[in-house]
A and B are shown apart, each in its own frame.
Chain A
Amino acid sequence: MSKSLPRASGYFRTSYADELPLVQTTLQRLSLKAVLLALLVFPFFATSFQLDLACQVFLAAIGALSLMLLTGYAGQVSLGHAGLIAAGAFTAGILAKELNAPFWVTIPAAAVVGALLGVVFGLPSLRLRGLYLAVSTLALHFVVVYLGGEYETKRGYSTGIVVDPPKLGGFELIDGRLWYFVMLAFAVGTLLICLNLLRGRTGRAWRAIHSHETVAEALGIGIAGYKLLAFVVSSALTAVAGALFAYYRGFVSVEAFSLFLSIQYVAMVIIGGMGSLLGAILGAVFVTLFPYAIENGMRLLPGAEKLAGAVFAVNYAAFGLVMVLFLVFEPQGLVGIWKRLQSYFVLWPFKHRPLASGRR
């Protein structure tokens, strides 16, 4: 492990290997420790409602990170992420119900199903771009939801499949606090996979394809393979989130996977900030907590009882409004705000970075 440096100082690395670690500066190391500590301590002070919120955020973060990989880095638009979550959830649900398969079988199985679906719905990306690609991925959503619905009605689970809580080493995973740690582990694992892929050859190839497809091809990058790989990785991770969702809720039903869910994931990526993993996480936190914030806000208004019926409508409207405001005023998303704040403090009393400066 290399020695860490203070952030705004000169550049004192002495080997290229020293630049590989993800944590580079003392400040980064300290803040990482603080965040980890906070995350580990949080469940011991939180109410069960807060634990539930945290688990939802972790689930959303897994989905948002994988969508960010696909859209923010590889540049492939997808509106099919709700479909992939549904695919993961149904895979876990059906395997658990029909074959009584344990947790450690259903989760990898969901990843495999997700990866296969990724190949299928990645294929149009070899020919289509932008909006056209988005529409073709939309088809995936409807296919998966249709198949799920068919399974439910044919097998007589018309209201949904009940999934028993998973067993980890002999005892059942019901406790909210335990779930919190499981979800946290999966979210951190996803983040690490994303970070590692992005700092290596694959991530560079994805970003190159995103900015200039023909140039990337002329430099020796097999476009088709890397586009499909982006879809496969993203879909597999998302399907795992779906499987976790199925176990967490203990219940799988097609109603949960509406098109609105896909829109929410796209919103997380946009509101968080395109092309940033931190953005995906911030977006996941924001979009997940936003409806609860609105609900609480409305409770504070005078005549709250009368407004209770309107909470849903207000939620939708406010969500739309926030999306528009972000697109117009902060296209870089939450991460843009974060970066501005960061450079303000790092550079104070100056305003601008020098042209050729160190790593940022």
Chain B
Amino acid sequence: MADLAVENLALRFGGLTVLDGVSLSVEPGELYALIGPNGAGKTSVFNCISGLYRGEGRIRFRDRDLNGLAPHVIARLGISRTFQHGELFGGMSVLDNLLVGRHARMETRPWAEALFTRGVRRAEVEHREAAERVLDFVELQRYRHTPVSGLPFGIQKLVGFARALAMEPALLLLDEPSAGLSRDEREDLARFILRIKHELGLAMIWIEHDMQMVADLADRLHVLDYGRSLAVGVPETVLEDPKVIAAYLGAQHAR
């Protein structure tokens, strides 16, 4: 039984067809890469899954129909995501960004918070511990109290990644996590992705342009071009597919 099943997803803005009959299914614990040229509709697929865009077609997550649900309800079901440009909460510290990521897991009520009752105190400490575990995982402890807007870009991307992870999701959507990172930072990221896969067993959909990383890490590839699915399968076969080479990789890449 697939964790996430997208059937025949279509998305139109006026006369522009962004997605046209995209179907995909992600198995539990699978690292599923979504690749394709710029403007192929990769991020639009994410926006449809997380409810920011309303497409046609069916999206199911573990027997729940996601169609028509509000984005925050979908997030509460355990679908968490990162954003292409980080999109962090600039004025807040790294820790606060992670705690916002845990929002859906916290249950304190505003009136209790206004009095900062014992229960609120306990919850704050408990969720702080959870956030610290994520900070340990991505090795960002030394930045915990630093406002994120002052951090270097590579660290910021990592904070966005940690924020998505802090929610303790069941499915993680990674939108170009490696874009703008240095070689070293990419290697760290690859390590984190592998650890998530092996230690936490999370299913991930991963938008990526770094073909070497994708070929090395992903279980399956899904190639999009102009909103259509071009090929789905294990990296070895998909990257040899002449259609994929013509549309995205270019002849140079053919072996």
Q: Are A220 and B145 in contact (CB under 8 A)?
A: no
Q: Inside 8 A of A50's CB, which chain B residues have their CB?
A: none
Interface residues of B in 78-93 (CB under 8 A from A): 80-81, 83, 87-92
In the complex formed, the residue of A with least CB distance to B120 is A200
The residue on A at minimum CB distance from B147 is A360
- CB of B52 within 8 A of CB of A216, answer no
Q: Which residues of B contact A324 (CB under 8 A)?
A: none
A2 to chain B, nearest CB (A): 12
Neighbouring B residues of A215 by C-beta, 8 Å: 83, 87, 89
Smallest CB separation, A278 vs chain B (Å): 15
Q: Given A200, A212, A214, A359, which contacts B116 in the complex, CB threshold below 8 Å?
A: A200
By a CB distance below 8 angstroms, the chain B residues around A216 are: 89, 100
Question: A201 contacts which chain B residues (CB < 8 A)?
Answer: 99, 103, 106, 108, 113, 123
Q: Residue A207 at the B interface, CB < 8 A? A: yes
Within 8 A of B (CB), among A222-252: 222-223, 229, 233
Give the complex CA separation of A211 and B104 in angstroms: 18
Given contacts A17-B121, A218-B51, A356-B142, 4 further A-B contacts (CB under 8 A): A211-B90, A218-B71, A220-B104, A221-B104
Cβ of A219: which chain B residues have Cβ within 8 Å of it?
72, 75, 80, 100-101, 103-104, 163-164, 167
Say yes or no: A204-B142 contact (C-beta < 8 A), given A214-B52, A218-B75. Answer: no
Shortest C-beta distance, B91 to chain A (Å), equals: 7
The minimal Cβ–Cβ distance linking A200 to chain B, given in whole angstroms, is: 4
Summed over the interface, the residue pairs from A and B with CB atoms below 8 Å come to a total of: 115
Contact A193 B81 (CB under 8 A): no
Q: Is the CB of B146 within 8 A of A356?
A: yes
Closest 7 pairs between A and B when the two form their complex, measured CB to CB: A220-B104, A220-B75, A200-B113, A196-B116, A217-B71, A16-B128, A211-B89
Across the interface, which residues of B come within 8 angstroms of A200, CB to CB?
A: 108, 113, 116, 120, 124
Using a CB–CB cutoff of 8 Å, the interface residues on chain A facing chain B are 15-17, 19-20, 193, 196-197, 199-205, 207-208, 211-212, 214-223, 229, 233, 275, 355-360
Say how far A176's CB is from chain B's closest CB, in angstroms. Answer: 30
B120-160 interface bits toward A, Cβ cutoff 8 Å, 1 = contact, 0 = none: 11011100110010000000001101100011000000000
Q: Are A204 and B96 in contact (CB under 8 A)?
A: yes
B91, B104, B110, B121: the one within 8 Å of A20 (CB): B121
User: Contact between B91 and A207 (Cβ–Cβ < 8 Å)?
Assistant: yes
CA–CA, A17 to B104, complex, Å? 21
The residue in chain B whose Cβ has the minimal distance to the Cβ of A73 is B91
CB distance B100 to A196 under 8 Å?
no
Chain A residues lying within 8 Å of B88, measured Cβ to Cβ, are 212
Query: What are 24 residue pairs bridging A and B, where the CB atoms are less than 8 Å apart in the complex?
Result: A16-B125, A16-B128, A16-B132, A19-B128, A193-B114, A199-B124, A200-B120, A201-B108, A201-B123, A202-B113, A203-B113, A204-B92, A207-B96, A208-B92, A211-B89, A214-B52, A217-B52, A218-B51, A219-B163, A219-B167, A220-B72, A220-B76, A355-B150, A357-B146
